Each structure stands twice: as structure tokens, then as C-alpha cells.
Structure 1
């Protein structure tokens, strides 16, 4: 990686050019917002897990105190500086935020007897550190309620660092969440979890060193902590806009916003304090309509419509606006202006993409042509530090039209490696293509240089010269990128070309998430792991009885397809197995022998079925084939 960066050093001088027509660097309002109410941070910058590994290091981004180097886009450097500010901040009477302790923020509201916490970070360790800081600075108080704004793990994963589940069960602590939270929290990562996890490492720059030549930010925060992800199920569902609760003497009003940034999400308004929490529906950047790690595409129109509703409901009633990421904004006029222009950025993205789509333009053509109007583009919070206009326009197209562009040539395309080999041969062989790619690189035509070098690498993954050149192109593209995650993905690509895919098993799902996953969802996971080559058109059926959950399922493999039904009525399975569900999961996902749990029929039936399942490959290559 260092060799690749050194080889591209001169070209990195281009990195600062991308922001030239953007917002005003003399505008320091965001710095004032981010530093408002600063009460200090913890003395020890390192937050450790029980096994001693560093979960989060508050000093890891100290390099951002220097001026922007040539190796990082200056606009992104500014965003990274703001996101790296960490500690406890008072944002209103009785409202504080801990920022910079994880990817997201934790908000603390002082009730009559304890703390109401909105969002509790990704990891129990960072959440515990945040609560300790609050109690040390403001006086020790118990947490009496936790509010999950939405169903992404960086907002609920730290809950056990703040509360004990026994206190929740005893009614001492409320867990409040939007309706559908639990289902959505566990479902997104089940079916496609392996692929999402691998791609997420690219998006967040997991293997990159933190520094001017590596990872500098994640766009909406600095990075994702590496601690213990936990979950405690909600005790109170919020199911409609206008619903109001009084928690420990504090009035809370809710606006549900499903299908925006998350499938289950909500905004929160504190009427007595005139504080509006817009969750992750508003940010200090344009967000993703389709996240590069992979997910179901989001609805840009619904997102804009819900911000319009937020503006109507709370715009003239709010003096402070906070969000689940980044810094707050102060002043009713400032908040209204922000809401209007941030909303308009998503609405413009949606409407103009659809207009161009209906004129027959293709996704790549729309992505190249769409630009925000200057009145929107000059606002720092509409810049593409996380999502980008070009990427998001392709997501809007995908939502309406899918992947197919109606050109018959794409009905049955060649596989990428085969297509690449044919193009390389047609263009006169690897030497000529490499020369053309180098020439494109030398004249600064990076997209074309990447396209040519990528063909060479796809045609022959062992082509060392092509890999080195493509790595240099990616480093230069990463240096120029205003988007933190584009930068991460370019540099991850360069790293993989130099060193190969990362080794290891990938991220393991947390025990709490597994426990919260419904049995049908887990059986769906097994279904997508069935390998027809192993099953060989074999047939088997088993009854699974889980006394601890009062569940019974019949699972059948036939015609190389795994199906299941709850509470089967007709006939008998080949074998019946009675066991705790956790033990079944140990066998299904971990390989433990379950034959001793047979209570009727063929004791080998379950083992035979499980032997036909494959294990996902967590380290599959991304930039080579």
C-alpha cells in the first residue's frame, strides 16, 4: 500500500481541485456549532474491550489538527476535522450529547430521576464510556429510558453498556423504538449478511491505516467501533406521528418516518425544550439512497416528503436541532433554512433523475450530468461526504426501473472475466492495453485508465504490472474524492490489489442479534446456504422441536430447495429432533453433532440435511476475479 501511495505522490496534488466550485471555506459556522457547549472529554483516549483490545481511540484522528495535505480532498479534510471533535457537549437546557465516541452520537436528556438516552452507539464498551463521562461531568444518575431512533446497529448496539436487561424486565427502564424496529434490526443482515459484511469493510476502510494516506473519516462519523454489539428488545412501540409520551417528567413527541434512511425510523421533538431530533433523516452531508455495502434501495421521494412534514410540524417551534450523527444547529431561522435546503437536495435528486430517466437517459449518463443547483450545492451539509449525487441518482433509477436498461445486448451478457479477456485480445493483447492505460493515467484521465487496467486485471488476476497501475489509479481517485466512503473504497481497492483480500472469518453476528432473529428468518438463512452440488437431488425431511420457544417446524429438502412450515399437521418427517434452539444453531452454523437430540425416526436425517449446506466465503475478492 505504501508503495502504491508513493508511486502516486505527484498526482495527489490534484486532490484539492474537486472542491474549487463548492462552499465557502471561510464559513466557520459548522465549527461554532460543533464546539458549542464543549464540556471536555475523557482523560484516557483508549476505550478497551474486556480482552484488552482497543475498541475506540479518541486520539486516532489527532493528525487532522494539521492543514489538509495533498493526499486528501480539502473539503473532506474539513468534514473529518469536524467529525473528530469528541467529548460531552451541552446543546440545550437539560440536553447533552456525547459525540466522537463512535460512528454515531448518544444524546442524554435529564429527567426528574435519571437519564433518557437517545441512541446508544454501536458497542457496549463505547456506550459505557459515554455514560461514565456524562455521570462524571454532570453527576451520577441512572438511565431510566433508552430510545432507539432507528434500526441500524450504530444506534442500538451499545445498549448493554448503559442498562441491565434485568432492570428492563422489571420495568425500571423503558426501551422505546419505532414500530417494526426489532424485525428490521435483525432482518437486514441475515440473508445477505456475508456479502454485506465484506462490502462494508470496503465502505468504511476497515483495513486502512488511519492517517493522511489512509482512512480519515466515514462521512457521517469518524469510524465504526470494534466492540461488543448488543440488543435489548423494545418495551414501547411508537406507531404513529403525533404520539406523545411523558418519560421521567419529560414530554416527547414522535414523527414516524419508515422507509427513509432506515425501514423503521422516527424523529423526536421535545416541546418544552424546543429541541428537534431528526435522527438520521438529516445529516451534515448528503446520505445514501443506496448504501455501497448493499441494501434495499431507499425512497428519495419519501425521504424528502418526511422532511417536509418535519418542517411543517416543528420548523417554527424549534430553537435547537440535533441529529444522530455530526453536530447540532441553533436558531429557528437556521433550522428552517437547513430543513428546506436539505429537503430540496433530496427532492431535486429524485425529480431530476426521474425526468432524465423518462427522457431515455441511462444510469451512467444521468450520474454524469446531474448537478445540484448552486443555491443547494454551496451548503456544506448537501455535499457528498457519505452519499453522493451521482451514486444516488443511479439508486433512484434502480428503484423505479431495476438493473436492466432495456438494451437487448444486456439480456445475456458475458461474465466480466470472459468479457475482459476478449476485449484485451481484441485490443492487441495485454502489452498494448497496459500502454494505453498508462498513457491515460499520465494525462490524468483516471476513469479511462481504471477501465483499461481493470480489464487487464479481470482477464488475468496475476498481471502484476496491471495490478500496480490500477492501484495507482485508485490511490489518485481516492485522494481526489470528496466522499469519505468513496475514498475508502478506492484505497481499499488499491490495498487489495497489492496484498490480496483480507484473511479471516469476517464479523460474527452478536449473540443478542441471533437471539432476536425469528426462527423462520434463521431457516431462510439455511435455505440460501443449500448447495445443490452437495444435495445431489437428495430428499430429506426433519421436524425441529424447540421447547424453549414452544416452536415446531418441519424442514424439507426436495428438488434442491429447502422449504419449511410451522406446526405441520400431516404425515411424519424422516426424523424428529427436540432441542433448545441455541443448540440447533450451534449445529447448523457451527457443525456440532446433533444426532443425540433425535427423539423419533432416523437419527441421521438432520446431519444429512446440514451436510448439504455451504458456508459463505467472507474473504471473497472484490477487485479481481
Structure 2
């Protein structure tokens, strides 16, 4: 059986461990953070008033726990944020984390709308119908969703669940569904989602899941300890909960703006916003309440137009136009806005400027990128040149706590022009290790590179030092002095970062540079989740597991019948490519195989073999049984521990 397995569930990949020997903030970092303190209006406490408004109760335990006693989500770990911002943190990000760490059950509209906040990365919202609840988004895992649901049942009311609305296919909004189903007085309810929800969830979280999960450990600080020199949050929320997840199957899909539903007396009108914060996304207006749920398209941060964990590029122009649609259709009739992250806002006079600024933020990033690209600027030059106008930059909800101007404008360039900036020197560069060796040689050897790096570090030129030492580390990965200085450099860049993901990337990179052990232990593939994929996507997923060298010269044809779903298909391995044909069997295939979809997944990924399945009467095979062995011998599953900051 193969030795490497992966798990694309981000929150289960590792547990926080103690941070390595920490580096203090240098005078340059302290000065940079003090400049932020003096630039922004920290005396404005309106967000804190909004974040605490309507508080009812919170958990009476220090953490939310899993069944095995381990922590699903920490609640008390953020108490250090009550202190003043230290030199080792950007004070603007520190402020955002203070707000995000406020947790519990909140009343948004008396008797009508409630939210669970601070129990997970996202929020879970409850809207009263005539006799029950509509739940909007259900958190990442069952444990955090259950903890929140238990609070509202105890302190507000245990009413029937009439519907669950999933605003978009990111797992922090749908993974906890089973807790709602298990805890609801009625087990059957509508699951409303944007059209294409399931396909998008599979493509974003599964097809690219292993690499995305590895990068997510950096982005979400999953290897960092919460403290003033380590993990202080993500900007969008504090952290992801750990535990059991469900992949929901919607019963009702929203395909266009203006669609309405009335459920148990509650009227809803939907705004469809594909290619904004997610491939498919919906926002909701409640005319009886004069309330608008923005999903994740308007929050209290500049969002990502390309998330650093990896995803498809998001369209800033479309995003902006969707917000303007909201303004023109509902702006004059909205007294409350609430979102799937952060805290609500009340009062039409405050809401309209907020929506307009969020609209203009994403259009500005899009338009200025193209404006400069059409003058010949490259992505790096655009990222350096674009700054927000003061009218936006001075607003806390437009600050780059999650996305940044820098990587967002690069994403818009990528959306139009791809990765190539037009310079022939960048068309086919050397790979990092070979390039690093050439740079070190050209600069006079490792000792001279270290001398230059130390001089740059003493001068506070951390971006330059990071570039310089990155080449040296890739040229000489065992150079401990280079790795230590690069780690110190990343620490300073992390301390200065206003973006939670940037801070987490820098600090996690520093951690990986200075330790000898693996960051975490590989865990088994989630066969249950994979088997829930639609069959087309499942076979596409299987195809990307083929190792080209192992498959070289091999040809396989086999027919499949899934006994549980009734589906037929054929698999064809040729030219180191695995193709499939649904609803078709090949006449001359040497093997016809009948088994369940889940058992096929276990067979393909090496958790079992055909002999065992046939002995247990879980499969029947007609023809050459070695055919499946040839196919599975070509499989190489993803490795969860691939290196990022070293070769």
C-alpha cells in the first residue's frame, strides 16, 4: 500500500505547536508600526461598539471541544489581545484581531435576527420565520456549529429549522451542516445555495485540495502559537475550527438576481454574484426586516481578489458592479447589514457610504491595474505604484487585513494577461535551486552573500534581504546561518504586516526554516468525502493522481459499474493520461468491475485491493484482474509536507 496520503481538510492538518526561538522587533520594525499607529484614527471606537452590540451570552467553557477532548476552537487563547499593540505586531492588524476575537451569541434585530460570532472563522446567522429559523451559513465543522446552535436554542428558542442558506462554496460556510440537521427538531429542511454550488465546492476544495491545504497552513497560521510574536488572527476572523465536516447537496438553487423565496412567512430576494468572492455566491435582502445579508462580498476588510492559499482569480470589476446593484436595488431600503464574517452595521446613513466605499475599493484595484498595464507596467511595478486614495485608505473596513493592494492588483493583471509579463527574460527562467546557485556564484560565493545580507538586515532592508537569502537557501539548503538570518528577516516582515495572511506566511516560513522536524504528520485520505463527489469530478480527480513516469508505456482499459449509484463508466489509461467515459462500456475491455463508488475510491487510492474486496463480496470482477493493479501502480497521491521555503 502506498505510504503517502493527504487530507485536504485544512483545519485537520496540524495542531499548533510552540513557536521557535523568537526574534524581537528591530528598531526599524518598531518605527514602521509606530508610524501606522500615528497615521490611522485609533480613537474611533465605532467598530467596537458595533461588534459588542446585542451581546446575549457566550460559551461557559474556555474552548469548543471535539468528542476526543481536543480543542476544536479556542476562545480564551485571544486574551493577550486585550493588551496594547506590541512592537511585534502591526497595530492596525492588532485592532482587527481584537474585534474578531469578540465572541458569543448576538441579537442583530430584536426578536428577528441573531448571529453566532467568534466561534469559527465565519459567522452563523439565524433569521426568524413565523414559526422557526432560517440559518445562513453553518461554519466550518460540526463542533463549532453545534456549540453555536446550542446557545441559541437555550437562550432564544428551539424552533424548527425551515431552511439553511449556504451563501457560497467555501468550507467555513458549509462544513458544519450536520450539526444543524442532528440538532434540529425537524430533520428535513430546504438547503438553498447558488447554482453550481456543489461543482464549485469540489473544484476549489478537492481538485486542488492538497496543494491548497499545504499553503493554507501558512495562510491561516495553523502551525503558529497565539501570542504577541506569533499568531494573532487572519484578518477575516481569528482561526478555523477543527473537527467533522459535511459536503452538503443543495435542494434549491438560486441562478439569477431578483429571484425570490418565501419560507414560513419570511420573504427573501436574492442577488447572484458569480466570480466575486467565490465562483458562485448569493446575497439576500429581507424586505420585511429592511435587512441585507452581504454574504462575504462586503465585510470589514479589503478582501482577496486572489487568495494566497490558492484559488481562481476573482473579478474586481464584477465584484464592484454587484455591490452597485445592491445599492441601487436595496440601498435606500436597508437599515441593517450583516455578513458572513465580522460584525453588523446599523443605520441607513452609515450603511450607504460603507457600501459605496466597498464598491469603489474593488473597482479601483481593477481599473488602476489595467490603467497601468496599458502603459506597459509589469505586475511588480503596478503593485509598487498603486496606493489607495486617502478617502478609502483612511477607512478601517477598506484596509488590507485579508487581501492587500499588492497581491490584489497582481491578481487582476493575472486575470487579463496570465503569469507572463512580456519580458523575454521571464519567459523561461531557471528553476529556483539552479537559479540560486548561479546568483550565489555571480555574487562571489556564499560568504559574500551572507555579508551583503547582514548589512542589509542591519539597515532594515528586509525585502531585499529576503530576496538575497532566498537564493542562497535554495543554492545551499543546509546553510544554517543563511536559514536563520532569512527566518529573522521573515519575522520582521511578519511583524510589520497589516494583512493577517501576510503575517502568517512570513512567520510560518520563518518557522519552517529553523526547525528540523516535519511540520505535521501526514493523515489518511478522506475517502468518505471523495466518494461523495459527483462521478465526473471524481474521475477527473483520479486522473491528476497519475505519475507520468510510472505510467510511461502502460495501457489500461477497464469497465466500471457502481452498484450503489447505478452508474457505468470506462477508464482508459494511455500516453500517461487517464481518460474516462461516463455511461459507456468498451467492448474489448479486459476487465469488467462491479463495486460501490466508495470501494472504488479505496481501491484506487490503495486503502484496499481487489482480492480483499472480492473475498468480502464487495466487488465482482470479470476478466483480467491484474488490469486494476496496472492502473493503481501508476498512482502517486499528493504529499502533504512538500517544502515551500526550502528546496
The answer, yes or no, to whether TM exceeds 0.5 is yes
Residue 100 (structure 1) aligned with residue 125 (structure 2): no
- 3-state SS of 2:57 partner: coil
What is the Cα deviation at residue 541 of structure 1? Answer: 0.9
What residue number does 2:252 align with? Answer: 236
- 3-state SS of 2:191 partner: strand
Counterpart Cα distance in 2 of 1:237 and 1:164: 23
What residue number does 2:143 align with? Answer: 125
1:341-380 matches, within 5 Å, as: 341-380=357-396
Q: Deviations over 1:220-271 (max 9, x none)?
A: 1000001111133111111221111111221111111111001111000110
- 3-state SS of 2:77 partner: coil
What residue number does 1:13 align with? Answer: 30
What residue number does 1:109 align with? Answer: 127
TM-aligned CA distance change 1:18 to 1:481, over 3 Å: farther
Q: Deviations over 1:454-488 (max 9, x none)?
A: 11101011000000000000000000000011000
Query: Gapped runs of 5+ residues in structure 1?
Result: none
What is the Cα deviation at residue 3 of structure 1? Answer: 5.7
What is the Cα deviation at residue 50 of structure 1? Answer: 1.4
Counterpart Cα distance in 1 of 2:566 and 2:252: 24
- 3-state SS of 1:503 partner: coil
What is the Cα deviation at residue 165 of structure 1? Answer: 10
Q: 1:65 aligns with which of 58, 61, 82?
A: 82
Counterpart Cα distance in 2 of 1:7 and 1:433: 24
- Equivalent pair of 2:530/2:601 in contact (CA under 8 Å): no
What residue number does 2:513 align with? Answer: 497
Counterpart Cα distance in 2 of 1:546 and 1:242: 40
Residue 137 (structure 1) aligned with residue 155 (structure 2): yes
What residue number does 1:25 align with? Answer: 42
What residue number does 1:221 align with? Answer: 237
- Equivalent pair of 2:202/2:537 in contact (CA under 8 Å): no
Counterpart Cα distance in 1 of 2:523 and 2:401: 26
Q: Deviations over 1:164-189 (max 9, x none)?
A: 49988x7x311111111111112212
TM-aligned CA distance change 1:74 to 1:508, over 3 Å: farther
Question: Aligned pairs, how many?
Answer: 622
| 4+ aligned runs moved over 6 Å, structure 1 | 165-168
- Equivalent pair of 1:297/1:395 in contact (CA under 8 Å): yes
What residue number does 2:177 align with? Answer: 159
TM-aligned CA distance change 1:165 to 1:38, over 3 Å: closer
- Equivalent pair of 1:47/1:126 in contact (CA under 8 Å): yes
Higher mean C-alpha deviation, range 606-615 or range 76-85? 606-615
What is the Cα deviation at residue 142 of structure 1? Answer: 2.7
1:76-91 matches, within 5 Å, as: 76-91=93-108
Residue 51 (structure 1) aligned with residue 64 (structure 2): no
What is the Cα deviation at residue 506 of structure 1? Answer: 5.6
Q: Deviations over 1:538-568 (max 9, x none)?
A: 1111111102111111101112111111122
- 3-state SS of 1:624 partner: coil
Higher mean C-alpha deviation, range 252-261 or range 404-413? 404-413
Counterpart Cα distance in 1 of 2:250 and 2:169: 11
Q: 1:422 aligns with which of 420, 434, 438?
A: 438
TM-aligned CA distance change 1:448 to 1:618, over 3 Å: same
Counterpart Cα distance in 1 of 2:473 and 2:301: 34
Counterpart Cα distance in 2 of 1:312 and 1:600: 64
Q: Deviations over 1:346-388 (max 9, x none)?
A: 1111101100000000000000110010001100000000000
Residue 274 (structure 1) aligned with residue 290 (structure 2): yes
Counterpart Cα distance in 1 of 2:376 and 2:26: 41
- 3-state SS of 1:276 partner: strand
Counterpart Cα distance in 2 of 1:284 and 1:430: 45
- 3-state SS of 1:144 partner: strand
Q: Deviations over 1:34-60 (max 9, x none)?
A: 111111211112211112211012111
Residue 552 (structure 1) aligned with residue 568 (structure 2): yes
- 3-state SS of 1:582 partner: helix
Higher mean C-alpha deviation, range 225-234 or range 261-270? 225-234
Counterpart Cα distance in 2 of 1:291 and 1:31: 27
Counterpart Cα distance in 1 of 2:505 and 2:586: 52
- Equivalent pair of 1:197/1:507 in contact (CA under 8 Å): no
Counterpart Cα distance in 1 of 2:403 and 2:291: 26
Q: 1:601 aligns with which of 623, 629, 632?
A: 623
- 3-state SS of 1:98 partner: strand
Counterpart Cα distance in 1 of 2:558 and 2:508: 44
Counterpart Cα distance in 1 of 2:287 and 2:470: 55
Report the aligned-residue RMSD: 1.7
1:270-309 matches, within 5 Å, as: 270-309=286-325
- 3-state SS of 1:491 partner: helix
1:452-531 matches, within 5 Å, as: 452-500=468-516, 501-505=518-522, 508-509=525-526, 511=528, 513-531=529-547
1:436-447 matches, within 5 Å, as: 436-447=452-463
What is the Cα deviation at residue 449 of structure 1? Answer: 0.9
TM-aligned CA distance change 1:16 to 1:166, over 3 Å: closer
Counterpart Cα distance in 1 of 2:20 and 2:383: 32
Counterpart Cα distance in 1 of 2:335 and 2:23: 49
What is the Cα deviation at residue 302 of structure 1? Answer: 0.5
Counterpart Cα distance in 2 of 1:21 and 1:525: 51
Q: When the two structures are superposed, what TM-score results if normalisation uses the length of structure 1?
A: 0.97
Counterpart Cα distance in 2 of 1:319 and 1:507: 48
- Equivalent pair of 1:102/1:224 in contact (CA under 8 Å): yes
- Equivalent pair of 1:577/1:598 in contact (CA under 8 Å): yes
What residue number does 2:639 align with? Answer: 617
Higher mean C-alpha deviation, range 588-597 or range 209-218? 588-597
- 3-state SS of 2:482 partner: helix
What is the Cα deviation at residue 430 of structure 1? Answer: 0.3
What is the Cα deviation at residue 503 of structure 1? Answer: 3.0
- 3-state SS of 1:488 partner: helix
